[in-house]
Amino acid sequence: MGKKKGKGKAQEGSGEPSQPAPGASAPSTSQPPPQQQQQRQRGGPQGEGPGPRQQHPQQRPQQQRQQQQPQPHPQQQWQQQPQPHPQQQWQQQQPQPHPQQRQQQQPQQQWQQQQPQPHPQQWHQQPQPHPQQQWQQQQPQPHPQQRQQQQPQQQWQQQQPQPHPQQWHQQQPQQQRGPRQQQGRPRQQFPPGIQQQRSPSPQQQYGAPPPHWGPPGIVPQQPMGQQVQGPPPQQPPRGPPPGMGAPQQQQPQRGPLPQQQQQQQQRRPQQQQPPVKSPVPHPEPSSPPRQEPAPPLSGGGDCLSGALVVTPGTKGRRIQIESNHLSLNLGKLTEAYHYDVAITPDTPKCLLRDVMNLFGRKHYPQNHPAFDGRKNLYSPKKLPFPNDTKSDTIEVEGENRKKEFKVEVKLARTVDLTPLHDIMRTTQSPQDALQCLDIVLRNAPSNACIIAGRCFFTPPRDGQIIPLGDGMELYYGFYQSAIRGWKALLNVDVAHKAFPKASNVLDIVCEIGSDFRTTMTRANLSQPLREFVQRDFEKFIKQLKVKYEIPNQSSSKRIHRVNGLGEPPSQAKFKLDDGRMTTVERYYQEVKRCKLQYPHLPTLWVGSRERESKILLPLEFCTVVGGQAINRKMNENQTSAMIRKAATSTDVRKDKIMQTLRTANYNNDPCIREFGFSVSNNFEKLDARVLNPPSLLYADNAQIKPSKGVWRADRNRFLVGATINKWTIASGTRYPSRDADKLADMIFRMASSNGMQITSKATPSTHIGGRQGLRDFIDYFKGKQDYDLIIVVVPNSGPQYSFVKQAAELNVGCLTQCIKERTIGRLNPQTVGNILLKINSKMNGTNHRLSPNSRPLIMKRPCMIMGADVTHPSPDARDIPSVAAVTASHDPNAFQYNICWRLQPPKVEIIEDLCNITVEQLKFFYQKTGFKPESIVFFRDGVSEGQFKQVQRAEIAAIQKACKMLQKDDYEPKITFLVVQKRHHTRLFPTNPRDSEDKNNNVPAGTCVDTHITNPRMQDFYLVSHASIQGVAKPTKYCTLWDDNNMNNDDIEELTYHLCHMFTRCNRSVSYPAPTYYAHLAAARAKVYIENDKLDMSQLKRHQEKCQIQEKIVKGKPMFFV
C-alpha cells in the first residue's frame, strides 16, 4: 500500500543523522519579582494590565458557592480529573469573558461542576511555592479603564481553573493588522471612550470550560441561561503593520480597490452586528456520522471569495532571490475559441494526437490550434468550419494494424483572456483563461516527448542510461505549468521518473533475481524460478506492453499488454483448430518450427481477459516496450538510487532548466506564435525574507538559538525528562547478544545525562518471533505488561515490524520502540541520542519548547494545533482503503500530540468523519488542560487547489459542527485552516552566494516568499523551513482557506516556521509543521495495523473497530506513534 504522494511504509528506527551545527544558548529566568510573589501569596491581584488594581464592588469572592461542587457523573470520562501537584492546588476561578466572544451572556447554573485541573508542571516551569503559601481564591480585577460601563455579574462569580499567567497570558501588545481587516471582517471592539487593554489578565479574556462536553452525538439539552444586557464592545481600527524600511525593489501593493470595497463589505458581516449563523442540524446519537449532511459554514473567515486583500509580511531579513518562473507576454489577444473534440470509438491515448494531427492537416492546414490530447481544442481565431462544426473519418496506423476513427470538432464557447492581462486588479477568476494558456504552451513538447502528467520526457541516449535496478531506469525531463501570480507566469522545472527498461524479458528476470550477494545470468535460468523471484517479476511485468517476435519471422511481430503470468510452456495446454490438445512447447516446435530454450519458465498471459482460452507467450520471444510512463510505487532501493541521482546543487539545477528552455524553444513554436504569446528566457527575480528562528527552552532555563536550521542540545537536559522503572530489549532477529548489552548500556548512561530517570538497567534481552508470527509476539507482550518500555530490534525489512505494533498496541497495550538491525551495527552517541528523543516523547516527556519571547501570539491563549492528512494506496493497488489521520496538541507548548485515524473508501480525499474526530480531540485537550480551546489552527496536507472549495465546505463545517455538538450555545472557537502543499515545482535560488548557508548554494532556512509568485487574492506563501541535506531545498506552500483569527501574514508565517522546530525526532527544523508530520506518522501506523489483512471495502467500519488501539496506550502514552 502506498500513498498518492509515493510514500512507503514508515518504520521506526534511527537513520543516519546529519551533524548538527552548534547553536548559541542564553539562560533566562522566569522568576517573578519578589513584590509580585508576595502579592500572590497574600492573595493580591493578579491582573497584568497597566494601571492600579482595585477591588471591584461587584466582584467579591463567592466562597460559599464553591464549597460544595456537584460531582460529574462517573460515566463522563472526559471530566476525570488529573491529580494536581500536592503543594500547588490551582483554585477554580471564573474569569471575565472576552468581549469578542461574549456579547450576549447566559447564566451559568451548570458551570459550577468541578473541572479537570492541569498539573502545574505540565503548563509551565516555575519555582515550587512553599506548602503553606497556597494561592488564595481571588476574583480577578478588571482594569479601571476597561469597565466603565459594567453590568452586574451575579452569575459570573463561580471560580474556574486558572492557568499560569506566565505561559498563556504574558501577551505582547496586539500586533497591528494590514488593510485586510478593513474589508468587512468582524473585529473586536470596545465601547466608545474605552481603550483596549495592552496586557489583559487571563480572567478578563478567557471564558470558563463548558460543563457538559459529552460523547459524540450528544448535545446539551438545557439552555445556558438568560441574556445579559450590555452595549456591544468596540475597538478602534487597526493600522497597517510596521514596515521594514524601503525594499530594494518597488513592489506592487495588494491594497483595496475602490470598485471592490462594496463587494467585500457585503461578503462579511458589519462590525456592529454579529454574523447571522445558519442553524446547524444535530443528529441523533444513533445516526451514522457518514450519512450526515455537512452543515453550512458560519462566521466571516472565508479566504476563498476572491475579494480578499492581503498585505505581504514584513518580518525578517530581506534578500533577493530567483525562482524558476518565467514571465509571459500575452500580446494583445483578448479572446480564444474553445472547441469540443469527440473521437469514436475509444482510442488509446497514444493515438489521439496522431488522429488530430491528420485531421488538422486535412481540414485547417493554415491554422495551428492547441490540442490537450483529450477533448479540448483552442484556437486564436475561428476555424474554417461551416456552422462551426466539422466531422470526418480518419485512418491511422495502430500498434498491430490500421484503425479508423470518427472525429467531430464543434465550437463550444469563447474564452475571455482579459483577466490574464490585469490579474492584480480584476476580481474575475482567470481559471478558464489559464487553462487555455497552459494548453497552448504544452502543445509543442506534447508532440515530441513522452507525456507523464505535466511532465515531458525523452529516452536517454546510448551511454546516458542510468539504471535504478529491478528492470527500471531513470529518464530526465522537464515540468511546466502556467500559474497565476501577480502576473501570468510559466513554472518550469527539471523532472525525473523511473521507466521500465526496453530490454528482453529474460534479462529483466535475471536483474530482479540478483541481489548484493549473487548475480543471476541466463545460465541460471535452467531451473524454475524461486518463489520470491517469480512474485516480484509478475508484479513488475503486469500491465506493461511487450513486443512479441519470433526470431527470423518478422510477420509474427505484435504488441501485447500483459495480464499476468501463466503456466510454463512445458505444462500449459490448449486446443488446436482440429480439436487436438497440445502444449505450448510442442506447438512452437511443430507449428512455428522453433525450439524453446526455457520451457520450464512461466509464460506471459496476454490478450483479452474474457477470452475462453488464454494467449500464452514464451518469455524468450518478448521484449518490454520502451518509454512506458507508469505510476507505480518504487521499492526502497530504487527510491534511494533515484534520490542520489536526482540530487544536484542549485547551480546544476538552474543549468538543466535553462537547457530545457533552449530545447523547448517556445517562441518559435507555430501555435504559440499564432496566439501572439512569448516566453521570457530569464528567471523571475523577487524579494524574500529570512525569518528569525525561535529560541528553544530546555531544562534549567537554558535557551538555544538554532543556526542554519540545526541546533545542538547534547549539553542540555530535556525540559521534562521521563521516568522509566522497568524496561528490556527484545529481538525479532538473530543479532549478537553483546550488541544488545552495548545498546542497553548506552541508553542507560545517556538517558541520565539528558535528564531522564531510569531507575534500573534493562532486564536480560530475549528473542521473540517464530513460526506462528503475530501470535508469538502477542504471547511475549502479555508477559511484559508491567514494563514501561520494550525496545525491539527488527529486521531491516519484513513483517516483524507490523507484528510488533499490532501485538503491542492493538492486542496487549505495551509501549515499544523498534530499532532496525542495521542501526545496531553502527551505534554511536548521536544515534542513541536520536533514539532517546523518541523515547522521552513516548514516555510523556517534553524535549523542549518555545521560549516565552518566541511564543507566537495565538499560542498565548488556549489554542489547539491540529494536523491532518489522507494517505491513499498506490495507483496499482486494489482493494486497499485510504487512511485519514488527524493529530492535535494537548498541552500549552504544542509539543505533545495525540492521534485519531479512520479507514475510508479508496481515493476519497475528504476526511469523512472529521466531526467526530474533532469532538474526540477537543475533549482530550480539555481533559489534559482543564481549558477549552479559544482558537483552533488546522494544518491540512494533501489537498490540491482544485479541491479547496470542497474541503472548505466539508471539513471546516465539520469542525464548526463538532464545537456545537460539545456545547450547543456560546462556544465558537476561532478557526484558522491552512492547506500544506509539497507537490509543486517551485524552487528558489539565491542571487548572491553570500546569502546561501550550505555547500549546495540553497537559500537559508527560514526563507519566506509571499509576493510575485503567490496568488494576489489569497493568503498564501512559500516557506523553506529546513536546511537541505542534499540537493535543492524544496519550499512548502501554505494556503489559508479560513481565518476567524484575523491573522496577518507575519502571524501565520511566524507560527508555521516556529512549529517546524517542534518535531520530536530530531534537533533540526523540518520541512513542514510538526502536527502535519505527525499526521503522516499516524497514517503510516494505521497502514501497519491493517498490513497482511484482507479487507472488505464494504466493511470498513468493522475493520476500524477491529483495529482499536488499547486505551492504556491512547490515554496513557498518547505520543506512542513517534
Q: What is the dihedral sign for C-alpha 467, 473, 475, 481?
A: negative
- Cα 693 to the center of its chain, rounded Å: 22
Number of H helices, E strands in the chain: 26, 38
User: What's the full length of the chain, in residues?
Assistant: 1122
CA distance 847 to 896: 10
Reported as type and span, the H/E element at residue 664 is: helix 650-664
Cβ neighbourhood burial of 579 (10 Å; 0-12, 13-18, 19+): exposed
Query: Which CATH superfamily hosts domain 503-625?
Result: paz domain (2.170.260.10)
Q: Say which residues have a Cβ less than 8 Å from residue 646's Cβ, sequence separation at least 6.
A: 474, 496, 1031
Distances (CA, A) of 884 to 288, 918, 936, 1120: 17, 13, 19, 18
Grid coordinates representing 845? 516527556
Which string of DSSP letters, residue by residue, matches 854-869?
A: G--GGGGS-EEEEEEE
The pLDDT score that the predictor gives to residue 129 is 40
The pLDDT score that the predictor gives to residue 292 is 52
Rounded to the nearest 10 degrees, the angle between the axes of helix 914-929 and helix 957-966 is: 50
Rama region for 471: left / alpha / beta (φ>0; ψ in -120 to 50; rest): left
Rama region for 245: left / alpha / beta (φ>0; ψ in -120 to 50; rest): left
456552422: which residue's cell? 387
Reported as type and span, the H/E element at residue 456 is: strand 455-457
Pick from 648, 491, 641, 706: nearest CA to 1002: 648
Q: Say which residues have a Cβ less than 8 Å from residue 986's Cβ, sequence separation at least 6.
A: 323, 324, 325, 491, 493, 1013, 1022, 1035, 1037
The pLDDT score that the predictor gives to residue 633 is 86
Distances (CA, A) of 769 to 242, 738, 779: 63, 20, 10
Degrees (nearest 5) of the Cα angle 368, 369, 372? 135
Q: Which amino acid is at 1081?
A: L
Grid coordinates representing 1100? 470498513
In the sheet that holds 849-850, the strands lie side by side as 24-25, 703-705, 696-697, 849-850
The pLDDT score that the predictor gives to residue 997 is 84
Phi, psi of 277 (to 5 degrees): -95, 135
Contact (CB, 8 A) for 987 and 493: yes
CA distance 134 to 128: 10
Grid coordinates representing 722? 521521563
Q: Say which residues have a Cβ less than 8 Å from residue 340's Cβ, sequence separation at least 6.
A: 375, 376, 377, 409, 410, 411, 412
Distances (CA, A) of 819 to 12, 436, 732, 825: 6, 52, 10, 11
* CATH 3.40.50.2300 intervals, the chain: 721-843
List the alpha helices (DSSP H) in 808-889.
821-824, 829-842
- β-pair partners for 309: none
Helix H, strand E, coil C: the string for 991-1035 is CCHHHCCCCCCCCCCCEEECCCCCCCCCCEEEEECCCCCCCCCCC
List the alpha helices (DSSP H) in 887-1039.
914-929, 948-951, 957-966
pLDDT in tens, 906-943: 989 999 999 999 999 999 999 999 999 999 999 999 89
Q: Is 956 helix (H, G, I), strand (E, B) or coil?
A: helix
CA distance 63 to 70: 15
- β-pair partners for 488: 484
* CATH 2.170.260.10 intervals, the chain: 503-625
Q: Which CATH class is domain 721-843?
A: alpha beta
- Cβ count within 10 A of residue 190: 19
Contact (CB, 8 A) for 1065 and 746: no
CA distance 596 to 526: 12
Pairing of strands 389-397, 450-452: unpaired
Pairing of strands 1020-1024, 1036-1043: antiparallel
Degrees (nearest 5) of the Cα angle 687, 689, 695? 175
The pLDDT score that the predictor gives to residue 27 is 40
CA distance 470 to 636: 11
CA distance 1086 to 1097: 16
Reported as type and span, the H/E element at residue 452 is: strand 450-452
Grid coordinates representing 580? 487436438
Contact (CB, 8 A) for 759 and 793: no
CA distance 143 to 48: 9
Pick from 8, 14, 9, 16: nearest CA to 819: 14
Q: Is 229 helix (H, G, I), strand (E, B) or coil?
A: coil
Q: Which pTM value belongs to this model?
A: 0.76
Pick from 1106, 1117, 1006, 1104: nearest CA to 289: 1104
HSE on the CB side for 513, CA within 13 Å? 20
Rounded to the nearest 10 degrees, the angle between the axes of helix 829-842 and helix 737-753 is: 70
Q: Which amino acid is at 405?
A: F
Contact (CB, 8 A) for 76 and 927: no
Rama region for 738: left / alpha / beta (φ>0; ψ in -120 to 50; rest): alpha
Pick from 366, 1024, 338: nearest CA to 693: 1024
The architecture in CATH of the region 849-984+1034-1116 reads: 2-Layer Sandwich (3.30)
- β-pair partners for 705: 24
The architecture in CATH of the region 331-421 reads: 2-Layer Sandwich (3.30)
Distances (CA, A) of 622 to 48, 100, 431: 81, 73, 46
Pick from 536, 540, 528, 534: nearest CA to 501: 540
CA distance 1032 to 657: 13
Distances (CA, A) of 796 to 10, 633, 818, 875: 12, 19, 11, 25
CA distance 15 to 13: 6
CA distance 653 to 323: 12
* CATH 3.30.70 intervals, the chain: 331-421
* CATH 3.30.420.10 intervals, the chain: 849-984+1034-1116
Stretches in the chain below the pLDDT threshold 70: 1-295, 516, 736
The pLDDT score that the predictor gives to residue 516 is 64
Q: Is 155 helix (H, G, I), strand (E, B) or coil?
A: coil
CA distance 952 to 877: 29
